[in-house]
């Protein structure tokens, strides 16, 4: 029988309190059959990104446990951070890995969305391949206005109402975007200085929606704890994005604004194929090591007979 694996990369709106994040991760680890491969906490974004892998049902159940704990522990009315967000459990994407198709992950996402609403009373927006409305395929469209704006708009604007549950948001946990997509690489470039406006303009220059690189989303953010600014990017189709050209464009635009690159980082894991396409791009990242390559981690799990 062929092994069937999916990945889920839930993003939680807490990146400062290790106790809360630890409790969320423990809740997911308590579900049998799924494995937590990576945790990335960022205090400036005030956000944590968890990477889970396993058979589809096991991963879905683990994520549901994590969402429940996040709803219990995170109050968005008290949350602030550099990263846009609409929920305590902000984004829950399902990604096919082995012997699973994207349309199957979309079905899992819709099932999980129904469970989140029924179990925790948190409304759900479906995005990516799971979207029920064409305009909601793109996550930035779903997240426009963030928690505060969506809280006001969803009850009275049919165009902003959740796909599952609602119409109002959960009073403390907001809403959650649940979707299915191909592998995404989260990649940040940190710039010396505190010129946030320059970082914002650099992000605008390189992102697809402003006429930059295809399959690149980018925002400029402040990293107050490090005295830096950042161009935070999602690479939604690494096969079709010239990674070295993207890095050079960020470096060139930064120099034009009088800024130097302080470093770069990967958030989460990357597929081996992406690494082989542009090894120098990833090797210059401060946190690169063989363990950030997904297949290396899967081989470790296989040797331990986790599935």
Long-range contacts of residues 105-111, Cβ cutoff 8 Å, at least 24 apart: 105/6, 105/56, 105/129, 105/130, 105/180, 105/181, 106/130, 106/179, 106/180, 108/6, 108/56, 108/60, 108/180, 109/178, 109/179, 109/180, 110/178, 111/60
- pLDDT at site 109: 98
- pLDDT at site 278: 96
- In this prediction, residues 43-57 reach a mean pLDDT of 97
Tokens of 114: 């129904």
How far apart are alpha carbons 147 and 155 in whole angstroms? 13
Residue of 40, 79, 83, 215 marked active site? 83
> What structural domains does the chain harbor?
5-180 (3.30.990.10), 185-297 (3.30.70.670)
1 band by pLDDT with thresholds 50, 70 and 90? confident
Tokens of 18: 């290790």
How far apart are alpha carbons 306 and 112 in whole angstroms? 23
- pLDDT at site 306: 62
* Residue recorded with tokens 């946990």: 173
* Residue recorded with tokens 């082995």: 98
304 band by pLDDT with thresholds 50, 70 and 90? low
Catalytic status, residue 83: yes
pLDDT in tens, 71-86: 999 999 999 999 999 9
- Alpha-carbon Rg for the chain, nearest whole angstrom, is 19
Question: Is the pLDDT at 151 greater than 90, yes or no?
Answer: yes
302 band by pLDDT with thresholds 50, 70 and 90? confident
Q: Identify any residues that bridge with 221 across adjacent strands, giving them in sequence order.
A: 230
Phi/psi for 103 (5° steps) reads: -65, -30
Q: Distance from CA of residue 219 to its chain's centroid? A: 14
- pLDDT at site 282: 98
What percent of the chain is predicted at pLDDT more than 70?
A: 99
The number of beta carbons lying within 10 Å of the beta carbon of residue 118 is 10
Q: What angle do CA 147, 103, 210 make, to 5 degrees?
A: 50
Tokens of 158: 């049919």
Under 8 Å between Cβ of 63 and 112: yes
pLDDT in tens, 204-261: 999 999 999 999 999 999 999 999 999 999 999 999 999 999 999 999 999 999 999 9
- pLDDT at site 301: 84
Running DSSP on this structure, what letter comes out for residue 133? S
**SS3 sequence, 196-217?**
HHHHHHHHHHHCHHHCCCCCEE
The number of beta carbons lying within 10 Å of the beta carbon of residue 252 is 12
How far apart are alpha carbons 129 and 248 in whole angstroms? 31
pLDDT in tens, 259-293: 999 999 999 999 999 999 999 999 999 999 999 99
- pLDDT at site 53: 97
Q: What angle do CA 133, 139, 141 make, to 5 degrees?
A: 70
pLDDT in tens, 99-115: 999 999 999 999 999 99
Q: Report in angstroms the alpha-carbon separations of 218 from 89, 210, 233.
A: 21, 10, 4
Under 8 Å between Cβ of 246 and 289: no
165 band by pLDDT with thresholds 50, 70 and 90? very high
CB-side exposure of 32: number of CA atoms within 13 Å?
A: 0
């Amino acid at each position: 029988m062929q092994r069937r694996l999916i990945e889920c990369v839930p993003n939680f709106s807490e990146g400062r309190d290790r106790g809360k994040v630890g409790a969320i991760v423990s809740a997911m680890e308590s579900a049998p059959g799924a494995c937590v491969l990576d945790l990335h906490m960022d205090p400036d974004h005030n956000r944590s990104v968890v990477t889970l892998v396993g058979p589809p049902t096991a991963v879905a159940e683990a994520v549901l446990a994590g969402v429940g704990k996040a709803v219990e522990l995170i109050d968005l009315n008290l949350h602030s951070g550099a990263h846009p967000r609409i929920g305590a459990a902000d984004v829950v994407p399902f990604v096919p890995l082995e012997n699973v198709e994207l349309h199957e992950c979309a079905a899992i996402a819709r099932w999980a969305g129904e469970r989140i609403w029924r179990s925790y009373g948190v409304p759900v927006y479906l995005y990516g391949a799971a979207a029920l409305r064409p305009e909601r395929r793109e996550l930035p469209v779903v997240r426009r206005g963030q928690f505060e704006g969506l809280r006001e708009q969803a009850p009275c604007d049919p165009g902003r109402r959740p796909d599952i549950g609602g119409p109002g948001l959960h009073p403390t946990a907001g809403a959650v975007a649940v979707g299915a997509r191909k592998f995404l690489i989260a990649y940040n470039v940190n710039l010396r200085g505190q010129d946030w406006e320059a970082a914002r303009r650099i992000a605008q220059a390189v992102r697809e929606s402003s006429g930059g690189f295809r399959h690149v989303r980018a925002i400029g953010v402040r990293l107050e704890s490090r005295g830096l600014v950042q161009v935070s990017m999602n690479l939604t189709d690494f096969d079709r994005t010239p990674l070295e050209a993207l890095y050079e464009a960020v470096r060139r635009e930064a120099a034009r604004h009088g800024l130097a690159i302080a470093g770069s980082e990967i958030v989460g894991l990357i597929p081996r194929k992406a690494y082989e396409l542009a090894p120098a791009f990833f090797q210059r990242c401060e946190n690169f090591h063989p363990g950030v390559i997904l297949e290396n981690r899967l081989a470790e799990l296989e040797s331990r007979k986790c599935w």
